[in-house]
A and B are shown apart, each in its own frame.
Chain A
C-alpha cells in the first residue's frame, strides 16, 4: 500500500478552553476525493486550516507524503506549497488583475519567469472557462467566476493536495452549479481533494469517502452511500435529517 498524500493523526486544536478538534485522524490517498460534512461550528474549517498550517496544532501531526509538516522545525511556507486551498470567500486579491492573482505564487514563491507563469496561468484560466477575463479585476466577476479563478490560482503551482472549504456556500444558488462542475472535472482528472461542503448531493456523486465531524470528533467515515444512506451513528442521522428537512438532500 502506498503512502497517503495526506495523513492527519490525532490532531487537537483549542481556542482558549474550547476544544474545537478533539483528536482527529484521517487519511487522503492519491486521486481520492474526501468530503467533510458536519453542522456549522463543528470544526470543518479549523481542520482544513490546520492541515494548511494556517493554525498551530495543540497536539497530533499532519503528514504530507509521509513528511511531518506540523513539526515546528519544518518551514511552514515551504510545506504549504504542496497544497492549494480555496476558502468560502475573500479569496482573490482585489488590487490585482485575474492574471496577476493566478501568477502571483508561481512568480514570487517559485521564481517562475513572468512570461512562462502567464502562459501557464492563461492555460489554467482557459480550463476554468475564464481566459477572456484575464485582464479584468475580481470585482468585475460574479461570485461563481471568482471562485473558479480561486481554484485556478490554487492549481497554478501544481499542488499535491487541494483543500476546498465550503467554496459554494457564499454563492447565489444559481452560481453553485458552475463551481461544483469544475470540482467534479478536477476529481475526474485524478486530483487529490479534501473538501468541506454542505452540498450532500454533490458529495454523494463525487466523493470517494465522506467523513462526518461532530463536536470536534470524527464520528463516522465511509463511502458516501453508507454515511449518507445508512448512517449508523445517531448524531449523523440527526444531522442528515436536519439537512433533509432544510431541503438540501
Chain B
C-alpha cells in the first residue's frame, strides 16, 4: 500500500514525463519540416530528386544490388572469422616475453605497423593486382578472394592492437594468481587473460565490425561484382545515381543492428564496472 504522498509524487512524475515526450515529438516534427522545406525549395531539388531518388529505378535495380550484397555478406562472414583468429595470434605474439620469441615479436610488430598505416585502397590494389602479377603458383586470381585477403591483412593489424590493449589491461596479479595455482603460461593466457581481455574490448571490436561491414564494399574496386559494383553497373545503364543511394542505404541498414548491439553491450559493461 503506497502512501498518499508517494501516489501524489508518482502522478507528478508521470505528468512530467508525458510533457517531455510531447516536447520531444514537437521539436522533432518542427526540425524535420524545416529540413524538408529547405531541401524542397532548393533550386536544384527537382533534378536531384530525379537522378538520386527515383523510385522506379530504385525498384528496378534492387534485385541486382541485393545479389551483390549477398556476396558482401559472405565476404564479411569469412573475413570476420579469419580476422578474429589471426588478430588473436598476432596480439598474443606481441605480448610474449623472453629472447626465444624475439624474432616473432619483431615480425608481429612490423606487420602491425605496416598494415595499420597503409591506406586500405592502396593495399587492395597491391594485393589484387600486384600479387597475381607475380604469377606464383597457388596464388588465386579470383578478385573476391584477393579483395578478402587485403581486408583480412588490414583489419587483422587493427584488431590485433585492440586485443593487445585488452590483454595488457588485465592486472598482472591475475597472471600471478593463475601461475601460482600451477597453470602453465598457455593455460593462463587461454583461461584467465584472454576471456577477461575479450570481454573488455567487445564494444571496440563491434565498432571495428561495423567498419568492416562497409569496407567489404571496397572489393568492388578490383572488379568483384558486389553491391557497390552492381550499383555502378545499374547506374551506367540508367544514367541515374539512384542505385548508389539504394546500395548505400542497404549498407546502413546492415550496420544499424550491430551498432545498437554495441551500444547495449557498452552500457552493460559500464553498469557492471560501476556498481556491485
Contact = CB atoms under 8 A, between A and B. Distances in A.
Interface centre among B171, B191, B199, B276 (most CB of A within 10 A): B191
Nearest to A163: B180
B192 interface: yes
Given A93-B192, A108-B187, A139-B272, A54 B176 contact: yes
B176 A87 contact: yes
A80 interface: yes
A91 interface: yes
Contact of B276 (A54, A89, A139): A139
A36 to B, nearest CB: 17
B15 interface: no
B109 interface: no
B276 A95 contact: no
A94 B193 CA distance: 11
Contact of A52 (B173, B180, B192, B199): B180
Nearest to A107: B191
Contacts of B173: 87, 89-91
Interface residues of B, number: 20
Nearest to A87: B173
Interface residues of A, number: 28
A234 B180 CA distance: 36
Interface in B174-224: 174, 176-184, 187, 191-192, 195-196, 199
Nearest to B190: A108
Contacts of A78: 182
Contacts of B183: 77, 104-105, 108-109
Interface string A153-191: 110010000000000000000000000000000000000
Contacts of B177: 87, 90-93
B191 A108 contact: yes
B181 A153 contact: yes
B191 A85 contact: no
A157 B181 CA distance: 9
A67 to B, nearest CB: 16
A157 B180 CA distance: 12
Given A77-B183, A140-B276, A95 B195 contact: yes
Interface in A198-220: none
Contacts of B187: 108-109
Contacts of B184: 77
A29 interface: no
Given A94-B196, A108-B191, A80 B182 contact: yes
Interface centre among A78, A94, A110, A140 (most CB of B within 10 A): A94
Contacts of A95: 195-196, 199
Interface in A92-131: 92-95, 104-105, 108-110
Interface string B161-179: 0000000000101101111
Contacts of A108: 183, 187, 191
Contacts of B180: 52, 54, 80, 83-85
A157 B191 CA distance: 18
A81 interface: yes
A115 B182 CA distance: 20
A81 B182 contact: yes
Contacts of B195: 95
Nearest to A85: B180
Contact of A54 (B171, B179, B199): B179
Contacts of A139: 272, 276
A77 B272 CA distance: 33
Given A90-B171, A139-B272, A105 B181 contact: yes
A91 B173 CA distance: 7
A153 B196 CA distance: 19
Interface of B: 171, 173-174, 176-184, 187, 191-192, 195-196, 199, 272, 276
10 contacts: A49-B176, A80-B180, A80-B181, A81-B182, A83-B180, A89-B173, A90-B177, A105-B181, A109-B187, A139-B276
Given A91-B173, A93-B177, A157-B181, 19 more contacts: A49-B176, A77-B183, A77-B184, A80-B179, A81-B182, A84-B181, A87-B173, A87-B176, A90-B173, A90-B177, A92-B177, A93-B178, A94-B196, A104-B191, A108-B183, A108-B191, A109-B181, A109-B182, A157-B182
Interface of A: 49, 52, 54, 77-78, 80-81, 83-85, 87, 89-95, 104-105, 108-110, 139-140, 153-154, 157
The 3 closest A-B pairs by CB, nearest first: A90-B173, A105-B181, A109-B182
